[in-house]
Amino acid sequence: MRETGPHSWDVAFTVTNTGDRHGQEVAQLYVAFDAERPTRPRHGLRAFAKVGLAPGASERVRLALGPRDLAQWSVTRGGWRIDPGAFTVEVGASSRDIRLRAELSTPGDGHVGELSEMSTLGEWLAHPVGGRMLKERLRSVPGLSDLDRGESPLVGLALGIPLIKFRTFGIGLTAEVVTALVAATRNAL
């Protein structure tokens, strides 16, 4: 695998006919994302090539993996986004017959979204600036130090609630505090 640009790779591999008859194979390139709370399919076909080979013959196959293969649609942004993190590139005869696997990572597209009172707790915790500010604010509240881990179903549910809705929970997130957090986050960007 060779990186050819930002979020682009040239994936090359060799297909060999080990049988005693002419054969054809459809080599398939997949990208797999492993997320604790998936927001897109975990495994997706991104490219393929049909190869016909005589007995004992081999052929080098090259498939391109580009930015769009890593992107997912962002309703908030109104466009495509590439999140930072690791992903797996897989090559096989089918999704159930993977023969090559490599781990890669991307720094993402660098876009940092703006937070609001209606941004969810999960969006706040995942935000590079807002997450730090919110965690600092909630550090003294008993039971909330590991809130972003989402290990229980209740915490998983809470991650989908807009931050302003926590104003009645008695954890110090009044409407004024939430408004101040939003302003501080916007000023820090």
Kindly state whether residues 14 and 58 are assigned to the same domain.
Answer: yes
Predicted local confidence at residue 52, as pLDDT: 97
Q: What is the DSSP string of the chain?
A: -EEEETTEEEEEEEEE--SSS-EEEEEEEEEE---SS-SS-SEEEEEEEEEEE-TT-EEEEEEEE-HHHH-EEETTTTEEE---EEEEEEEEEETTEEEEEEEEEE------PPP-TTSBHHHHHHSTTHHHHHHHHHTTSTT-TTGGG--SHHHHHHTTSBGGGGGGTTSS--HHHHHHHHHHHHHH-
The reported pLDDT for the residue numbered 18 is 95
Q: Is the domain of 56 the same as that of 102?
A: yes
User: Mean pLDDT in runs of 10 for the chain (189 residues)?
Assistant: 86 96 97 79 94 98 95 82 91 96 91 88 86 87 60 74 90 91 88
- Give the closest residue to 53 by CA, choosing from 17, 10, 97, 6: 17
Question: What's the CATH code of the domain at 13?
Answer: 2.60.40.10
Domain stop point among 106, 136, 158 = 106
Domain membership flag for residue 115: no
Chain position carrying tokens 């916007």: 186
Q: Which domain holds residue 144?
A: 121-188
Number of domains in the chain: 2
Given 106, 141, 167, the domain boundary residue is: 106
Position 151 scores a pLDDT of: 61
